[in-house]
A and B are shown apart, each in its own frame.
Chain A
Amino acid sequence: MTKTLLSIIFIFIFIVTHISPTITKAVDPDEFLQDPKLELRARKISKNIRCLVCQNQSIDGSSATLAKDLRILIRNKIKKGYTNDEIYTFLTDRYGDFILLKPSFKLSTSALWSLPFIFLIFGIFVIFQLNKKSKKIIK
């Protein structure tokens, strides 16, 4: 019984993590670049660009019209010889940092990047202090 349940859970996790993302891919075959290397670059950039209509999805997986337009724009810029940084700058100049799913590290985003580490250090400090106190009580 447990074995069957475990295998069902395993199959479910496998489908969710491996199969469904490929099903939801929204890139149309006519959008593909002929050069596989350039196409890979386009896909990599698209995966880091937020779909502003659906917001919690990248343009790579979104079927929204704006997402498609941005995918085409990225591919056209790649074909014209733009670098990845130039494409990101073009998009953030027009839509702000919000368009990046993984924002770059700069003064305005420093709190976003550093706070998790500050919280982690704070957590370790609290655990350390509590541990010290409990040791004292035991003694």
Chain B
Amino acid sequence: MKKKLSIFPSILFFLILLSFFYLLISDRNPSKLPSTFIDKPAPIFKAKTLFDNDTFISTEEFGQETTLVNFFATWCKPCIEELIFLKKLSNKNELKIIGVNYKDNSNKTIKWLKKLGNPYSKVVIDSNALIGIDWGVYGIPETFIVNSKGIIKYRLVGPITEKNYDEFYVKIKESEK
């Protein structure tokens, strides 16, 4: 009985070690951080719009219909690939896409969007990354799904691709449930 008791702490120790190793090798990608904003209201901000130099007030834009907030830049190569899928989503006429032009040259972005096609209903200028930081953005592109109540339901770090498009579309649909 005594022997059995003395083995118990060792078993416990190895179980704790095993659980640590499991957490290390399990389906975890340290390069993709979870957003702290999930199920929270979208951050409020004011900024200038790209094409008409108008003032964008987020409280007037969010909370009416499903909205995608896509942080992009012309210097970001995956953003070019992603544009096809953003256009596909925009053509469905089910949601609004707001583009946040992150640390970029405005003239270059206007030319870029005219050449490749513009999936955004409005593009906001974030020249000093302050909107990005406020949304917890750390890599471009990043896309947030904001539901019709103005709540952030999902964040995708990295581009929307052929591989994740269907899964992402399901997330858009689920955001209103």
Q: Hey, which bits of chain B sit against chain A, CB under 8 A?
A: 6, 9-10, 13, 16, 30-31, 33-34, 36-37, 103, 128-130, 132-136, 138-139
Contact = CB atoms under 8 A, between A and B. Distances in A.
B82 to A, nearest CB: 19
Interface of B, helix, strand, loop or mixed by DSSP:
loop
A103 B156 CA distance: 25
B36 A69 contact: no
B2 to A, nearest CB: 11
Interface string A91-110: 01111101000000000000
Nearest to B40: A93
A76 B49 CA distance: 25
The contact size tier of chain A is: 20 to 34
B138 A95 contact: yes
B24 to A, nearest CB: 14
Interface of A: 52-53, 55, 65-66, 69-70, 73, 92-96, 98, 115, 119, 122, 125-126, 129
Nearest to B36: A96
Contact of B36 (A73, A93, A122): A93
Nearest to A52: B138
Given A73-B130, A96-B34, 14 more contacts: A55-B30, A66-B138, A69-B132, A73-B133, A93-B36, A94-B36, A94-B133, A94-B134, A94-B135, A95-B33, A95-B36, A95-B138, A125-B9, A129-B6
